[in-house]
Amino acid sequence: MHVFVTGGTGTIGSAVVAELLGNGHTVLALARTDGSARAVKDAGAEPLRGGLADLDVLRAGVAQSDGVISLAFGRDYSSPAALAQAVAEESAALAALGEELIGSDRPLVTVSGTPWVPGRASTEADPLPTDGPVGGRGRSVNALLDLASRGVRSTAVRMPRTVHNEGKGGFAGLLTDAARRAGVSGYPGDGTQRWPAVHALDAAVLFRLALESAPAGTSWHAVADEGDAVRDIATVIGRRLGLPVEAVPQENFGPFGPIFAMDQPASSAHTREALGWQPTQPGLLEDLENIQP
């Protein structure tokens, strides 16, 4: 397939591009800067210049492709307003991508997070949260999945709380950044809350499998570690950076504080069985040993 990818230069997106190219597909990748266009070319894909807010560019990308993988999302999480802006930008982009695909039966794979269910690991059958600071993302993914009845093979790959590669990326990466800034490897709450995790290279395989074969309207869990205790994550970060490990107020993590403090293990049993997905990369705690002081 010729696949239009947004976010193809990110932690997950660069792995997805490599996975697609390594498995017989070609890639057209949205690139908002010269640097991103170069990175896309170096990876072996064709850049399409533009940003997530350039809806005509997104429509042109869809028109040139056999399928779409949508991963781009703003990186400014510094305030609730910045996060809300990123959510709004992504929502408009997803709506434009979906609309352009109506009646085509072509695949559109989008990304969301695994839901949280008190007292147990969430499954693929649990609904996405549609309130809270990123609830708008859940609503726009649900709207895309609804396009299954209008001739779009739309699917969602739900990412666990943290996605890692060589010790970097995801929310564990935000914890590492916060530790470097504060001089303390902090965790909110009592640290026993669990985050599910996956290596970006394993997640990339699942995006490809969903693109190639998942039925319209389905959701999948890219979960390798069902749940790592946040205190254990902070402990590895603290040891690698030579910093003390301490409980800190959740407000230290800005709009993500409440999410960081939540226990949210997730299962991928159905995904593994139905799509034959099998993670093979190192788990989060092992991968964080790659953090350099």
Ligand X SMILES: NC(=O)c1ccc[n+]([C@@H]2O[C@H](COP(=O)([O-])OP(=O)(O)OC[C@H]3O[C@@H](n4cnc5c(N)ncnc54)[C@H](OP(=O)(O)O)[C@@H]3O)[C@@H](O)[C@H]2O)c1
- Tell me how far, at minimum, the Cβ of 244 lies from ligand X, in Å: 27
- 3-state SS, residue 68: strand
3-class SS shares of the chain: helix, strand, coil, % to 5: 45, 20, 35
Q: How far apart are CA 31 and CA 7, in angstroms?
A: 8
| Token code pair at residue 50 | 């533009």
By beta-carbon proximity to ligand X, the closer residue of 30 and 101 is 30
4 binding ligand X? (CB under 6 A) = no
98 binding ligand X? (CB under 6 A) = no
Cα angle for residues 17, 201, 152 (degrees, 5° grid): 55
| Token code pair at residue 112 | 């969301």
Q: In a 10 Å sphere around its CB, with 0-12 CB exposed, 13-18 middle and 19+ buried, how is residue 215 labelled?
A: exposed
227 binding ligand X? (CB under 6 A) = no
195 binding ligand X? (CB under 6 A) = no
Q: How far apart are CA 185 and CA 243, in angstroms?
A: 6
Stretch near ligand X under the rule CB under 6 A, chosen from 26-34, 118-126, 235-243, 244-252: 26-34
How many Cα atoms occupy the beta-carbon half-sphere of 129 within 13 Å?
A: 14
Site of tokens 């299954």: 148
75 binding ligand X? (CB under 6 A) = yes
By beta-carbon proximity to ligand X, the closer residue of 175 and 243 is 175
By beta-carbon proximity to ligand X, the closer residue of 31 and 147 is 31
- Tell me how far, at minimum, the Cβ of 29 lies from ligand X, in Å: 8
- Which region, left, alpha or beta, applies to residue 23 given φ > 0 means left and ψ of -120 to 50 means alpha? alpha
Give how many residues touch ligand X by CB under 6 A.
26
By beta-carbon proximity to ligand X, the closer residue of 36 and 218 is 36
11 binding ligand X? (CB under 6 A) = yes
By beta-carbon proximity to ligand X, the closer residue of 9 and 155 is 9
Among 28, 40, 48, 72, binds ligand X (CB under 6 A): 72
Residue 78 and residue 127 in contact, taking contact as beta carbons nearer than 8 Å: no
Residue nearest to ligand X (CB): 10
57 binding ligand X? (CB under 6 A) = no
Contact flags string 101-140 toward ligand X, x per CB under 6 A: ----------x-x---------------------------
DSSP label at residue 250: G
Among 152, 163, 175, 210, binds ligand X (CB under 6 A): 163
| Token code pair at residue 167 | 């010790």
- Tell me how far, at minimum, the Cβ of 68 lies from ligand X, in Å: 14
Q: How far apart are CA 164 and CA 178, in angstroms?
A: 16
By beta-carbon proximity to ligand X, the closer residue of 200 and 243 is 200
Q: How far apart are CA 27 and CA 90, in angstroms?
A: 21
List contacts with ligand X (CB under 6 A): 7-13, 30, 32-33, 36, 51-52, 71-75, 111, 113, 159-161, 163, 169-170
